Amino acid sequence: MKDDGLPNVIGAPLDRTDGAAKTTGAARYAAEFAPANLCHGVMVLSTIAHGRIVDLDTSRAQHAPGVLFVLTHRNAPKLPDHGRAAVKPPAGRVLSLFQDDIVHYDRQPIAVVVADTLEHATAAAALVRANYAKQPATVDFNAARGNAYKPKEAGQKPPDVEWGDAAAGERTAEVHVDVTCSTPMQNHNPIEPHATVAAWEGDRLTLYDATQYVSGVRETVSKTLGIPADNVRVISPFVGGGFGCKGSVWSHVVLAAICARNVQRPVKIVVDRQQMFGPVGGRPQTSQRIELRATREGTLTHVRHDVVSHTSDFEDFVEPSALITQMLYACPNGATTHRLVKLNTGTPTFQRAPGEATGSFALEVALDELAYALKLDPLDLRLRNYANAESQSGKPFSSKHLRECYTQAAERFGWSKRPPATGAMRKGNALIGWGVGTATYPAHRMAASARAALQPDGTIVVQSGSQDIGTGTYTVMTQVAAETLGVPVSHVRFELGDTTLPDAPVSGGSMTAASVGPAVQAACQKLRAQLLERAVADPSSPLHGLSSSRATLDGGWLIALDETHRREALAALAGRSGATIEATAEAKPRDEDKRFAAHSFGAVFVEVSVDRDLGEIRVPRVVATYDVGRRLNAKTARSQLQGGIVWGLSFALLEHTILDTRVGRIVNANLAEYHVPVNADIQDIDVTFVDNPDLNFNPLGIRGIGEIGITGVAGALSNAVYHATGRRIRDLPITLDKLLLPRTA
- Closer residue to ligand MOS (CB): 368 or 468: 468
- Closer residue to ligand MOS (CB): 69 or 361: 361
- Closer residue to ligand MOS (CB): 342 or 444: 444
- Closer residue to ligand MOS (CB): 355 or 423: 355
Contact assessment for residue 280 and residue 332, using Cβ atoms and an 8 Å cutoff: no
Q: How far is the CB of 108 from ligand MOS (least distance, A)?
A: 23
Q: How far is the CB of 244 from ligand MOS (least distance, A)?
A: 3
Question: Residue 555, Cβ neighbours under 10 Å: how many?
Answer: 17
Cα–Cα distance for residue pair 194/250, rounded to 1 Å: 9
Helix (H) / strand (E) containing 132: strand 129-134
How far, rounded to the nearest angstrom, does the alpha carbon of residue 158 sit from its chain's CA centroid? 23
Contact assessment for residue 478 and residue 495, using Cβ atoms and an 8 Å cutoff: no
Name the catalytic one among 219, 319, 483, 707: 707
- Closer residue to ligand MOS (CB): 282 or 378: 282
- Closer residue to ligand MOS (CB): 354 or 433: 354
Nearest to 107 by CA among 347, 463, 315: 347
Cα–Cα distance for residue pair 570/626, rounded to 1 Å: 39
Contact assessment for residue 572 and residue 435, using Cβ atoms and an 8 Å cutoff: no
Q: Is 162 a catalytic residue?
A: no
What is the contact surface with ligand MOS in residues (CB under 6 A)?
A: 212, 243-244, 247, 350-352, 354, 508, 706-707
Nearest to 277 by CA among 349, 214, 340, 197: 349
Cα–Cα distance for residue pair 481/519, rounded to 1 Å: 10
Helix (H) / strand (E) containing 702: none
Contact assessment for residue 473 and residue 636, using Cβ atoms and an 8 Å cutoff: no
Cα–Cα distance for residue pair 72/53, rounded to 1 Å: 11
- Closer residue to ligand MOS (CB): 69 or 441: 441
Q: Which residues does 364 contact at the CB level (< 8 Å), separation at least 6? A: 436, 437, 438, 712, 714, 715, 716, 718, 719
Most distant pair of Cα atoms in the chain: their distance: 90
Cα–Cα distance for residue pair 612/610, rounded to 1 Å: 6
How far, rounded to the nearest angstrom, does the alpha carbon of residue 446 sit from its chain's CA centroid? 16
Contact assessment for residue 724 and residue 421, using Cβ atoms and an 8 Å cutoff: no
- Residues annotated as catalytic are 707
